[in-house]
Amino acid sequence: MAFDIDMIKKVYAQMAERVDKAREITGRPLTLSEKILYSHLWDGTPSKAFQRGKDYVDFAPDRIACQDATAQMALLQFMQAGKKSVAVPTTVHCDHLIQAKQGAAKDLMRANETSNEVFDFLESVSNKYGIGFWRPGAGIIHQVVLENYAFPGGMMIGTDSHTVNAGGLGMVAIGVGGADAVDVMAGMPWELKFPKLIGVKLTGKLNGWTASKDVILKVAGILTVKGGTGAIVEYFGPGAKNLSCTGKGTICNMGAEIGATTSTFGYDDSMERFLRATDRNEIADEANKIREYLTGDDEVYENPEQYFDQVIEIDLSTLRPHLNGPFTPDLATEVGELGEKARKNDWPLKVDWGLIGSCTNSSYEDLSRAASIAQQAIDKKLKSKSDFGINPGSEQIRYTAERDGLLDVFENLDATIFTNACGPCIGQWDRSDRKGEEKNTIVHSFNRNFSKRADGNPNTHAFVGSPEMVAAIAISGRLDFDPMNDTLINEDGEEVKLDEPVGLELPPKGFAVDDNGYLAPTEDGSTVEVKVATDSERLQLLEPFVPIQDSELQGVKLLIKAFGKCTTDHISMAGPWLRYRGHLDNISNNTLIGAVNAFNKKTNFVKNQLTEEYGGVPDVQRQYKAQGIKTIVVGDHNYGEGSSREHAAMQPRFLGVAAVLVKSFARIHETNLKKQGMLGLTFANEADYDLIQEDDTFNFVDIADFAPNKPLTIEVVHKDGSKDVIMANHTYNDAQIKWYREGSALNLIKKQNA
Ligand code: F3S
């Protein structure tokens, strides 16, 4: 059903040869991360050593996973490639569009009503193009991937930042934007800057109240939210072998919170146990045959300082439980010290909710350890002082946990069991107890706790901990509760103490599930019709972009000269606009509305040169478009930083912007502009930014000679008729110039497929 053993056998068959070659070329032993990277080169067997943090390298990932919010535009784009089916195994998971409110059954029914057109579209497009489809309620993407698709030594990409979770099963799994996923689905290579490497050596063994979650909470405290940027975090050492596979998943999952490219662990017995428990004996057998290739070389782990760019050591035996927050996941505090800190900072001590689950912490082990605390509360006649909400990670976990009585335990404490979906973790939480913006505290076992993340309230102070610690804190109702030392008063007025949590790594009776929610695609999808209603406001089939003609690049009008920071959020805002992610025309109404106009320092207020009137950016742009006039956007440094969302390039392109000329680009956005067939240019002389005036018109005088390494000449005509001639640099290579000439990268692929 799910995994593709032939593909895995192929990966393993070439791994030995490629890793041996990489060792020879680099002249040294290799880390696990390097083994996986070098064995997934697009060009096959390695022929040169790459410089970490410098070289851009083309890779050939083994799998792709998409979630329902990001899959919409990715698949709409993929349909443009003219392919019969996806080039690598791909799955779509419906987990983000389900709101948590009254409990699983009702919430799922409501989601199926409100988002049915999106689900129907995703199901039909998956069926047509050979993509595995996981229905709403089947589970959270990363847990489903860990249970079904992840395999040691593999490389995958996913259109969600927590794709990194699959590192728990020894993968290099990386979160990407939709445009990257589309490339790989269409059979193109995937480019990544060869990452730096951070080694985390784990010694000792977890004990008492300390959980796997505390490892990453500690690491986040050390490295901070930016400390992992551009790096793979590789965990090793005797302590790593003592962690469960799903515990490793938790640690890798939150690697996203330190900005890491991904995190991973070497193949070991815990992974083998998990593979066998999840019905994947064949993978375990194959992995066992090449075990030494699925972990770092001994010499690397014996002298990590020599081979990693940075090394951290953590002794699990002495690690203490943490609660990180509020508002940032790297504000690490040991339980027991939080009360004082909270009082000093005036954080509310009363805890309103304890939320357990999300892709980070929703394994069987997690639920069993938290349930052991909940059961004690019942046995010791304690009533939970906070509300409880539980999001199981998958239907398989939910079904098994129900069979084994774990869910009953939570329900006996009046917990609400939400759908197997993201829910409060992505702000899909219709919270009943607080509707205003009052200051309040919640604890959860999720990964992110930024302001407004769970419930949209900027005054909700969210603290991140392990599931068992969340359970204990929720039962006590107090943020300063330390279950290792403090007691609670029960219904009979007696003082009681919670014992240490106990849990089960894997269900003793095995996993079970009735309907796991998976729909395999049909063999031949050629007759399958993709479902998109013509009057839909959330979905719209894409039309291929028409190539920009050289003649259209004379008399180009300035749309906006953006001042200061202009991130992808300024170019294509999130929030309520997420609803239109699959409808390019509708979402284009947010184009650049967050950018600051350099001439009046206002947002969404630019001059229409045709009418001399001021208006919103999308409105003014649509008026230029109606007249067939192309426009240009001028920007400052690092234009387009932030997320990799392709909408930030597609929307201006759709509305008729032809060029973006800036002091410098965030690289991913620059590439996205190229892919959409636009001109992404930088000022050869940064000071020329100051020459641009509000009523300027631009003539691209030598666009007919557009070629690699040759700057373009632009004549800037001011309102009074005076002119400045400026030079614009670009980084287009031959292939990318073809994308531009064809109107987009996908147009070119389609042409090549025809
Ligand atoms: Fe993202 Fe869903 Fe996990 S919102 S953080 S994938 S639970």
- Answer yes or no: do 580 and 660 share one domain: yes
* Whether residue 326 has a cis bond before it, omega within 30° of 0: yes
Q: What is the pLDDT of residue 109?
A: 95
Active site residue 23: no
Q: Is 461 among the residues known to form the active site?
A: no
Longest CA–CA separation in the chain, Å: 88
**Residue 330 · residue 323 · CB < 8 Å:** no
Q: Is 514 among the residues known to form the active site? A: no
Judge whether 688 and 724 are in contact, CB under 8 Å. Answer: yes
Please pick, among 369, 444, 448, 647, the residue that the annotation labels catalytic: 448
In 10 A of CB 624, how many CB atoms? 20
Q: Which has the higher per-residue pLDDT, 425 or 320?
A: 320
Protein residues whose CB sits closer than 6 Å to any atom of ligand 1: 95-96, 140-142, 160, 162, 358-359, 422, 425-426, 447
pLDDT in tens, 93-124: 999 999 999 999 999 999 999 999 999 999 99
Q: Read off the pLDDT band of 262 (50, 70, 90).
A: very high
413 assigned to some structural domain? yes
The domain boundary, picked from 465, 496, 527, lies at: 496
In this structure, the residue with its CA closest to atom 3 of ligand 1 is 359
Mean pLDDT confidence for 542-567: 97
Q: Which of 68, 93, 95 to mutate to test the pocket of ligand 1 (most atoms within 8 A of CB)?
A: 95
Tell me: do 342 and 259 sit in the same domain.
no
Per-residue pLDDT of 657-692, as tens digits, reads 999 999 999 888 999 999 999 999 999 999 999 999
Give the distance from CA 464 to its chain's centroid. Answer: 18
Supply the pLDDT for residue 577.
86
Expressed in angstroms and rounded, the spacing between residue 162 Cα and the centre of ligand 1 is 7
Q: Which of 63, 93, 96, 478 is catalytic?
A: 96
Confidence of residue 623 (pLDDT cuts 50, 70, 90): very high
Residue 158 CA to residue 619 CA, distance in Å, equals 34
Task: Please say if 95 is a catalytic residue.
Answer: yes
| pLDDT at res. 101 | 92
Examine the domain organization and report whether 723 and 653 are in the same domain.
yes
Residue 45 reports pLDDT greater than 70? yes
DSSP 657-723: EEEEEES-B-HHHHHHHHHTT-EEEEESSGGGGGG--TT-EEEETTGGG--TT-PEEEEEE-TTS-E
- Picking from 315, 339, 368, the residue at the C-terminal end of a domain is 315
Q: Of 496, 519, 538, which residue constitutes the final position of a domain?
A: 496
State what percent of residues in the chain have pLDDT above 70.
100
In a domain, 409, yes or no: yes
Distances (CA, A) of 612 to 244, 256, 559, 620, 692: 66, 47, 13, 11, 17
CA of 680 to the centre of ligand 1 (A): 32
Q: At what angle do helices 745-753 and 734-742 cross, to 10 degrees?
A: 90
Ligand 1 atom closest to the Cα of residue 141 is 6
Does residue 389 lie in a domain region? yes
Task: Please compute the mean of the pLDDT values over residues 361-367 and round it to a whole number.
Answer: 97
> Are 233 and 376 in the same domain?
no
Query: CA 86 to CA 64: how far, in whole Å?
Result: 10
Task: Round to whole Å and give the CA distance between 60 and 7.
Answer: 12
| CATH classification at residue 475 | 3.30.499.10
Mean pLDDT, the chain, whole residue set: 96
Are 224 and 348 contained in the same domain?
A: no
**Inside any domain, residue 516:** no
User: What is the C-alpha to C-alpha distance for residues 514 and 647, in angstroms, rounded to an integer?
Assistant: 39
E strands, 145-195, are 155-158, 172-175, 190-193
Amino acid identity, residue 549? Answer: Q
236, pLDDT greater than 90? yes
**Percent of the chain, pLDDT > 90?**
91
Residue 734 has pLDDT above 70, yes or no: yes
Same-domain check for residues 358 and 309: no
CA of 260 to the centre of ligand 1 (A): 17
Same domain, 146 and 19: yes
Q: How far does residue 358's CA lie from ligand 1's centre (Å)?
A: 6
CA nearest ligand 1 atom 4, residue: 426
pLDDT tens digit string along 63-91?
A: 999 999 999 999 999 999 999 999 999 99
- Residue 671 structure tokens: 């590439």
pLDDT score, position 235: 98
- Give the CA count within 13 Å in the CB-facing half-sphere of 147: 26
Residue 1 predicted with pLDDT over 60? no
Domain total in the chain: 3
Does residue 310 fall inside a structural domain?
yes
Same domain (yes/no): 430, 555: no
Residue 336 included in any domain? yes
Residue 283 belongs to domain spanning: 5-315
Reported as a pLDDT band with limits 50, 70 and 90, residue 456 is confident
> Taking the CB of residue 559, how many other CB atoms lie within 10 A of it?
30
Structure tokens at 89: 């195994």
Report the separation in Å between the CA atom of 159 and the middle of ligand 1, taken as the mean of its atom positions.
Answer: 11
Residues 107 and 205 in one domain: yes
Residue 157's CB: how many other CB atoms inside 10 A? 28
Residue 510 inside a domain? The answer is no
Q: Which amino acid is at 275?
A: L
CA nearest ligand 1 atom 2, residue: 422
Q: How confident is the model at residue 432 (pLDDT cuts 50, 70, 90)?
A: confident
Q: Give per-residue burial for 566-602: e unless 16+ CB within 10 Å, then b.
A: bbbbbbbbeeeeebbbbbbebbbbbbbbbbbbbbeee
Cβ(586)–Cβ(681) below 8 Å: no
Task: For residue 645, indicate whether it is catalytic.
Answer: yes
CATH of the domain at 728: 3.20.19.10
**pLDDT class of 457 with cuts at 50, 70, 90:** confident
Verify whether residue 309 is a known catalytic residue: no
Residue 505 domain-assigned (yes or no): no
Which of the pair, 61 or 458, is modelled with greater confidence? 61
Q: How far is the CA of 359 from the centre of ligand 1 (A)?
A: 5
Say what the pLDDT of residue 44 is. 97
Say whether both 341 and 294 belong to one domain. Answer: no
Residues 460 and 590 in one domain: no
Q: What is the pLDDT of residues 243-260, one digit of tens each?
A: 999 999 999 999 999 989
Looking at the CA of residue 161, tell me the nearest atom of ligand 1. Answer: 1
If one counts every other C-beta atom within 10 angstroms of the C-beta of residue 344, the result is: 8
Per-residue confidence at 2, pLDDT binned at 50, 70, 90? low
Both 300 and 218 in a single domain?
yes
**Nearest CA among 225, 221, 224, 247 for reference residue 235:** 247
Nearest residue (CA) to ligand 1, atom 6:
359
